[in-house]
């Protein structure tokens, strides 16, 4: 069931037309008002526009331009039609900066609802600031464990010590999903089940490498041997210690969650030092075409989680545009290859509009939170409903999951790549287009 009120229809031609001007959306002042009227409802949006996480925000201009067009006539709140204003802030890929701009949006801009995306380094400080200030917040594009557990006062205390949140809600997948996807892909290849873990000292790395909720216990249960050389600092320039550890353990499989520039450094050094695993399934770093292209021909058959793609069989509740057409519109408007965050940033604004339409009391934080909790919406990334499905009881109030599959990058013309979905056992509704191949 979809509760989206009356939809604003935009066909693909309109998407292209209005996306052409998308570069102006994130101009000075970072504002994108839908229509110039008083008493607009305000959305705050924080993402890493600059810095090492900037690839996650590459499609922001495009999504914001289309959102502006979709809501140019305002949205209906109760008996009134009101304009929508989006106030955008750049976290600069820095958690401290993310917290600062979140505080500015709350105190100075007096937003009605906060939206935030892209890795725990962005979602966590913004969500925490909203929880402190009692401002409703919806976040995405971070596995739920680092978002939920990482924000606890005692993250290592276990479920009895973990409590839910009153103002912050999250939709994405979890570590259990990415572990299942990666091991399903590895299971298609003959290997010695020796895995090298590349985990940085950040929110993602600490969660992925955690001995309770991360990769170690699941891999052990499935018969894999994990070699974890310990946490390294982001933006390091020498991975010799990790490479030597993986070579020494004969790790035929590599995994980890790495910043894009760090994986480029690691992979080039690994190949130079004679380390080439049969499979390398890496989170975060190789989600983006530009990151794979930076590796030249050495990116072929690297694998990653796939959270969204043109082949995902979903449509937007806001514009009725399919995943395929949204990706195509992005490519036509920007002359760049589609990228996974397009779907989730779009869905973030879908959820926002749906919540606002069901919150007639503009500015009432508790009413907005109630509307978030009661969301039951089909979006361009799948169904969003905080109903506890597939989530442990301690996180059920605040977390809802979206589907995840596995993909492998295949070299096509020149240094251009396509990601091919090679395993969908975790989400059969999303079709595969090939089988896992070893790194040549």
- Alpha helices (H) in 273-320, listed in sequence order: 289-293
Report which of residues 364 and 79 the model is more confident about.
364
pLDDT band at 150 (very low <50, low <70, confident <90, very high): confident
Rounded percentage of the chain residues whose pLDDT exceeds 70: 90
CB within 8 Å of 111: residues ≥ 6 apart: 42, 43, 44, 87, 105, 135
pLDDT tens sequence across 279-308: 999 999 999 998 899 899 999 999 999 999
pLDDT tens sequence across 50-78: 999 999 999 999 999 999 999 999 998 87
Average pLDDT, the chain: 90
- Alpha helices (H) in 56-157, listed in sequence order: 60-70, 95-107, 120-133, 144-148
Q: How far apart are CA 30 and CA 45, in angstroms?
A: 10
Q: How far apart are CA 399 and CA 174, in angstroms?
A: 10
Mean pLDDT of all residues in 266-274: 97
CB within 8 Å of 11: residues ≥ 6 apart: 321
Kindly list the structural domains of the chain, giving each domain's residue range(s) and its CATH number in brackets, ordered by start. 12-173+309-401 (3.40.50.2300), 176-306+404-423 (3.40.50.2300)
DSSP state of 322: B
- Alpha helices (H) in 190-340, listed in sequence order: 203-208, 215-221, 240-248, 260-272, 289-293, 323-334
Three-state SS sequence of 2-69:
CCCCCCCCCCHHHHHHHHCCHHHCCCCCCEEECCCCCCCEEEEEEECCCCCCHHHHCCHHHHHHHHHH
Give the per-residue pLDDT at 363. Answer: 83
Mean pLDDT of all residues in 219-247: 96
pLDDT tens sequence across 183-212: 999 999 999 999 999 999 998 899 899 998
Give the per-residue pLDDT at 33. Answer: 42
Other CB atoms within 10 Å distance of the CB of residue 391: 19
Is there a contact between 112 and 41 (Cβ–Cβ < 8 Å)? Answer: yes
Q: Which of 17-26, 74-83, 119-128 has the lowest mean pLDDT?
A: 17-26
């Amino acid at each position: 069931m979809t509760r989206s009120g009356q939809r604003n229809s935009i066909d693909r031609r309109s998407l292209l037309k209005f996306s052409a001007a998308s570069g102006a959306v994130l101009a000075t002042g970072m504002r994108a008002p839908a229509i110039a009227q008083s008493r607009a409802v305000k959305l705050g949006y924080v993402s890493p526009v600059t810095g090492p996480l900037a690839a996650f925000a590459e499609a922001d201009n495009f999504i914001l331009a289309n959102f502006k067009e979709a809501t140019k006539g305002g949205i209906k709140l109760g008996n009134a039609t009101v304009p929508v204003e989006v106030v955008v802030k750049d976290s600069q890929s820095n958690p401290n900066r993310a917290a600062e701009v979140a505080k500015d949006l709350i105190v100075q801009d007096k937003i009605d609802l906060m939206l935030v995306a892209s890795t725990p380094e962005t979602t966590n400080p913004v969500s925490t600031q909203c929880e402190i200030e009692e401002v409703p917040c919806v976040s995405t594009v971070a596995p739920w464990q680092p978002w939920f557990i990482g924000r606890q006062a005692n993250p290592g205390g276990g479920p009895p010590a973990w409590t839910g949140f009153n103002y912050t809600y999250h939709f994405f997948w979890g570590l259990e999903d990415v572990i299942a996807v990666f091991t399903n892909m590895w299971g298609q290849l003959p290997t010695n089940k020796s895995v090298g873990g590349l985990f940085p000292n950040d929110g993602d790395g600490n969660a992925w490498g955690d001995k309770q909720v991360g990769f170690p216990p699941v891999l052990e249960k499935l018969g894999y041997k994990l070699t974890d050389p310990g946490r390294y600092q982001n933006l390091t320039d020498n991975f010799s210690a990790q490479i030597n550890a993986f070579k020494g353990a004969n790790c035929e499989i590599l995994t980890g969650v790495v910043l894009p520039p760090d994986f480029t450094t690691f992979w080039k050094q690994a190949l130079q030092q004679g380390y080439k695993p049969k499979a390398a399934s890496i989170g975060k770093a190789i989600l983006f075409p530009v990151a794979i292209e930076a590796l030249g021909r050495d990116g072929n058959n690297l694998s990653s989680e796939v959270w969204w793609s043109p082949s995902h069989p979903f449509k937007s509740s806001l514009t009725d545009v399919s995943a395929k057409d949204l990706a195509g519109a992005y490519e036509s408007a920007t002359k760049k290859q589609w990228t996974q965050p397009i779907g989730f940033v779009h869905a973030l604004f879908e959820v926002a509009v749906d919540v606002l339409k069901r919150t007639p009391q503009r500015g009432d934080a508790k009413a907005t939170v109630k509307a978030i909790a009661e969301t039951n919406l089909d979006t361009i990334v799948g169904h969003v409903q905080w109903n506890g499905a597939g989530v442990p009881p301690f996180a059920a109030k605040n977390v809802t999951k979206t589907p995840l599959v596995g993909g492998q990058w295949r070299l096509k013309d020149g240094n251009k790549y396509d990601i091919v979905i090679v395993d969908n056992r975790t989400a059969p509704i999303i079709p595969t287009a090939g089988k896992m191949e070893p790194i040549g």
